[in-house]
Structure 1
């Protein structure tokens, strides 16, 4: 990111750690936790990659005025219908992981519903099935207004999370469609504890 995108990294890290602590508390104590009730006493928190501001990127938005339907498979073998409402293009540069630079894209989806809902961005990457859940991870975006082509949004992979079906078979979760499989490792956000 350039200087115009500078953030207060300490404040960002504190806010991220606070969100993670809240989620751990929800998973440990809330009746709607995906952790089975008989396992909650031994639950000691989710596993995360270390916060890394390099995985907080600006994405260029292309809005699809006439969104195409996409049929997404679920962990229970069903199909869910989503609309591909936008494409998000972003750059990553991480010399530490051997990635010297590249432009990548993810699609954002919404279900057909009159209700306001966040943009759903499911994805797989080179950590999937190894350091992260085999079914992929999710991000959600809640823009403050309707997006237009040419807008920029922040994609913070440090907020990438594991779907509930990773914790219990009682949940049926959409799997990231192949168009959202990234050919790069994104070691940010939630991971599996091995």
Structure 2
């Protein structure tokens, strides 16, 4: 749970729901949408878990002091290279967990890519995992904590269109807990 004293749950929920509405609008109408053009008229919006501030957690930041790169396989049998930037330690659903935040090799470190799998993967959420990305002010390796909001976890574009090559979360980012927040599969 968030330990931030100035957290306004109502404002947070309104901002999250506005973000989701804008994303649905993009998916339904924009040329860059991953929804195939012939399916956009029938697109009725993405499916999400209900907003839950318990999945907005403070994570301790530990810089990764290594030049070793991580090669992530993708959904189309190719590979993409990333650099580990930080380890993010947090508690969720009563469990202590760690995720690694990455950047693409040679990219600026002003945003972090956090792909992950959890106990909902392949059941309630896309089988290849989900992603979080967030911008950071300044050098994230100098921060003591950052807020991870799993309510912003999303399915990669390949969940909607096989034409996309999406990195698969490496085993170091597989969580042993169910994260029932963010995008989910439609109920059938």
Q: Does the pair score TM above 0.5?
A: yes
Superposed CA deviations along residues 152-190 of structure 1, whole A, max 9, x for unmatched, are 000000000000001011100000001100000000000
1:193 aligns with 2:186: yes
Query: What is the SS of the residue equivalent to 2:65?
Result: strand
Q: Residue 108 of structure 1: which of 101, 123, 145 is its match? A: 101
Q: How does 1:28-43 map to 2 (within 5 A)?
A: 28-43=28-43
User: In the TM superposition, what whole-angstrom CA distance separates every residue of 1:6-39 from its partner, at most 9, and x where no partner exists?
Assistant: 5110110000000000000000000000000000
- TM-score calculated relative to the size of structure 2: 0.94
| Unaligned residue ranges in structure 2 (runs of 5+) | none
Match for residue 14 of structure 2? 14
Q: Does 1:164 align with 2:157?
A: yes
TM-score normalised to structure 1 length = 0.92
Return the match for 1:174 from 149, 167, 171. Answer: 167
Q: Runs of at least 4 residues of structure 1 off by over 2 A?
A: 1-6, 65-68, 113-117
Q: Distance in 2 between matches of 1:116 and 1:147?
A: 8
Give the Cα separation in 2 of the matches to 1:30 and 1:79: 28
Question: What aligned pairs does 1:53-68 form with structure 2 within 5 A after superposition?
Answer: 53-68=53-68
Gaps of 5+ in 1: 94-100
- Following TM superposition, by how much is the alpha carbon of 1:3 offset from its aligned partner in structure 2, in angstroms? 5.4
- SS across alignment from 1:141: strand
Provide the alpha-carbon RMSD of the alignment.
Answer: 1.5
